[in-house]
Each structure stands twice: as C-alpha cells, then as structure tokens.
C-alpha cells in the first residue's frame, strides 16, 4: 500500500487516511483492532484550483481496521465522523464539509487497489484525471463511488452513482 501516492492515486481522503494508518491504540467503544485514523492539516497547491487550498479537520472521529486475507490481500475498512474545512489561501474564504464515508480499500498482493466509498466523501484528482473522469479536481460527493488503482498509483477506472454536492474550488472562489 505504501506504493500508492496518498492524494493523487487514491483520490480520496478516506484512502489517504488508510494509507497514513499507524499503530495507534484502539479506542474504547469501537472494538478490537479499530484504530483512530491519523490525519494532519495539509494544503493542495494552486494546480488544483488556481489558488492554494488549506485543509484542516475540526471533527476527527474516524476509525480504521485492516483485515488480512490468506491470498496476501488486505482490506482496510474506514468509518466514523470526519469533517474537513477547506480554505482558499488567497482570500481566506472557508467551507466545512462532511467526509464521513464509510470506505473500503482492498489492496492486492501486487499493490493494486479497489476502493469503494459510500455516503459523503471527498474526491481529489490531479487536473488530468479530473478531466478524464469529467469531475472537479476537489469535490464532495454522496452515494457510491468505486475506483481501481494500479500499483504505481494510476486510476484506471472510476464509477460514481450519486451526486456531486460541492465543487470545492468553485465554492471557495465565489464572492461572499
């Protein structure tokens, strides 16, 4: 899983969180083998929206569990509450969105991955991938999304059944 670039390859915050998983202690009430997903503030550079977009996480109660199969594949389940605040670094305009998922990433022994997301999700694409799939570079969706990713991080397929709730770049670029 380390071979997949966190933001551009997996294209989702849920996948980013799954990739960033470290061995943190399980929290009471979530059950055994569930771990708080480590997230840190970060910034999308100007190639995504034409201006930098800062991302922070005011609500962070998202947990993950890794299941290992006999064939060497791993399934990472992610669930819980997660909201992100997206801030236009040029103007200071900010919006806060629900990105709680849930999501599932199944990584094959060769490093390829199948990603399934439901609920509210953040999808983040490099501009070339956004054009290829006809989606905004930074968006919040609702409904099922599936992606297939090669071991080197290229998105080979994307299927979305649901709605685009927010085009983050457009929302942050509008006058207040």
Asked whether residue 150 is assigned to any structural domain, the reply reads: yes
8 within a domain of the structure (yes/no):
no
Kindly state the average pLDDT of the residues 110-116. 97
Cα–Cα distance, 56 to 52 (Å, whole number): 13
In a domain, 7, yes or no: no
Evaluate if residue 13 carries a pLDDT over 60. no
Structural domain containing residue 29:
13-173
* pLDDT class of 16 with cuts at 50, 70, 90: very low
Whether residue 2 is contained in a domain is answered as no
What is the mean predicted confidence (pLDDT) over 28-45?
86
Residue 1 placed within a domain? no
Is the model's pLDDT at 8 over the cut of 50? no
What is residue 176's predicted lDDT score, i.e. its pLDDT?
Answer: 60
Check pLDDT > 50 for residue 37: yes
Q: Which residue from 8, 17, 170, 2 is spatially nearest to 84, judged by alpha carbons?
A: 17
85 domain-assigned: yes
Q: Is the pLDDT of residue 103 over 70?
A: yes
Element (H, E) at 175: none
Residue 96, pLDDT above cutoff 60: yes
HSE toward the beta carbon, residue 51, CA cutoff 13 A: 19
Count the domains in the chain: 1
Residue 153 lies in a domain: yes
In-domain check, residue 78 = yes
């Amino acid at each position: 899983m380390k071979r997949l670039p966190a933001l551009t390859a997996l294209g989702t915050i849920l996948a980013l969180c799954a990739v960033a998983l470290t061995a943190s202690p399980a929290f009471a009430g979530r059950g055994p083998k569930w771990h708080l997903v480590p997230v840190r503030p970060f910034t999308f550079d100007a190639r995504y929206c034409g201006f930098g977009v800062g991302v922070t996480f005011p609500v962070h109660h998202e947990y993950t569990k890794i299941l290992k199969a006999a064939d060497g594949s791993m399934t990472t389940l992610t669930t819980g509450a997660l909201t992100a605040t997206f801030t236009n670094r040029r103007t200071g305009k900010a919006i806060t969105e629900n990105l709680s998922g849930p999501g599932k990433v199944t990584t094959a022994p060769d490093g390829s991955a199948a990603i399934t997301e439901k609920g509210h999700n953040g999808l983040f694409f490099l501009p070339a991938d956004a054009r290829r799939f006809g989606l905004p570079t930074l968006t919040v969706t609702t409904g099922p999304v599936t992606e297939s990713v090669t071991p080197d991080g290229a998105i080979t397929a994307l299927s979305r059944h649901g709605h685009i709730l927010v085009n983050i770049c457009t929302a942050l670029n509008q006058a207040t």
